[in-house]
Amino acid sequence: MMRMAMIGLGKMGGNMVRRLRRGNIEVVGFDRSGEVVSQLTKEVGMLGASSVEDAVSKLSSPRIVWLMLPSGEPTEQQIHALIPILGKGDVIVDGGNSNYHDSQRRGAFLAAKGIGFMDSGTSGGIWGLENGYCLMVGSTDEVAKTMTPILQALAPAADRGWAHVGPVGSGHFTKMIHNGIEYGMMQAFAEGLDLLRGKKEFNLDLAQITELWRHSSVVRSWLLDLTAEALKSDQELTNIAPFVPDSGEGRWTVVESIDQGVAAPVLTLALQMRFNSQNQTGYGYRLLSTMRNAFGGHAVKHAGDK
């Protein structure tokens, strides 16, 4: 039976462990929260670890360590800490939302030490446990072959929902563009529904209309499904503050469009509108915040919050 380590058992990492166990993959898990480690150990038979070193010691070659940590310094520090305790042929996977430039750099210095690296753009949010995760991965062919059983267990099915899209860095690059597109789609829905709501003389039922659009319309999508479900219970969204943060990947997408000299006005404006939400009180921003919570479990800022 294949065994791997998962470092970081938060909202995404914990559910990925649950799905891996359903796929008959043994998982050694570590998180700074001992309570989370204990819970997953009891719930799904994860092998708990008291430290990253302990987790690695429970693996056999090739040792696979999947990181689900915040991008930036936490991921950087953990990769450097792993180098002395891993060896030739072992693999580190970064499943967080890292900048693809960082992934390219990390892949290069790990390769020089004989350690494989995979950057995995991971989509699916809090629904990934039941529906499977969409995995966009970048690595060498050799690393991709090693990781295939794990990717198949996490994906919706063995033959879909995951792809080795290219060399190291390409997985996170693909996910970055994916998130930029996501920004644009969300902004379009928010603006359109705000216009429908603003036509007071028609007294339109947004829950009815979004449910209607889910069936055979050209704008049907998972984002629409989630929005329709949210509006069934609350159309006014008065308890949701019109404040929409950005996770970083939308910004990186816009920077990439500038670097390439490729026009991306919709994606750029969608990002700018999120910036603008900090100074506005519009209904559209409440919708955007609601959508982020629906697909990713991102915390919403409620009216009255400081």
What 8-state DSSP symbol labels residue 301? Answer: P
Q: Answer yes or no: 249 catalytic.
A: no
The pair of structure tokens assigned to 248 is 């970083």
Quickly name the fold that domain 3-167 has.
Answer: Rossmann fold (3.40.50)
What 8-state DSSP symbol labels residue 63? Answer: P
Calpha distance 102→169 (Å, rounded)? 8
Residue 174 pLDDT greater than 90, yes or no:
yes
Global pTM? 0.89
Calpha distance 232→299 (Å, rounded)? 20
**Residue range 198-205: average pLDDT?**
97
Calpha distance 187→267 (Å, rounded)? 9
In this structure, which long-range contacts are made by residues 77-85, counting pairs with CB atoms below 8 Å and at least 24 apart in sequence? 78/7, 78/52, 79/106, 79/110, 81/52, 82/52, 82/56, 83/110, 83/113, 83/115, 85/52, 85/53, 85/56
**What pLDDT, on a 0 to 100 scale, did the predictor assign at position 280?**
59
**What pLDDT, on a 0 to 100 scale, did the predictor assign at position 304?**
62
Average pLDDT of the chain is 94
Q: Nearest-CA neighbor of 92 among 70, 111, 72?
A: 111
Catalytic residue among 76, 175, 229, 301: 175
**What pLDDT, on a 0 to 100 scale, did the predictor assign at position 279?**
61
* Pair 8, 16: CB distance under 8 Å: no
Catalytic residue among 35, 42, 43, 182: 182
Pinpoint the alpha helices (H) of the chain: 11-22, 34-44, 52-57, 73-82, 100-111, 128-131, 141-154, 170-198, 206-213, 222-233, 249-260, 265-276, 283-296
Length of the chain equals: 306
Calpha distance 211→287 (Å, rounded)? 15
pLDDT in tens, 67-123: 999 999 999 999 999 999 999 999 999 999 999 999 999 999 999 999 999 999 999
Residue 302 pLDDT greater than 90, yes or no:
no
Q: Answer yes or no: 73 catalytic.
A: no
**What pLDDT, on a 0 to 100 scale, did the predictor assign at position 101?**
98
Does the domain at 176-296 match CATH 1.10.1040.10? Answer given as yes
Calpha distance 302→306 (Å, rounded)? 9
Calpha distance 95→99 (Å, rounded)? 11
Count the Cβ atoms, other than its own, within 10 Å of residue 134: 19
Sign of the Cα pseudo-torsion (250, 251, 256, 257, in order): positive
What 8-state DSSP symbol labels residue 299? Answer: P
**Residue range 125-143: average pLDDT?**
96
Domain range summary for the chain, segments of one domain joined by +: 3-167, 176-296
Q: Exposed, middle or buried, 209 (CB in 10 Å: 0-12/13-18/19+)?
A: middle
The alpha carbons of the chain give a radius of gyration, in whole angstroms, of 21
Alpha-carbon distances, residue 91 vs 79, 140, 166, 296 (angstroms): 11, 11, 17, 27
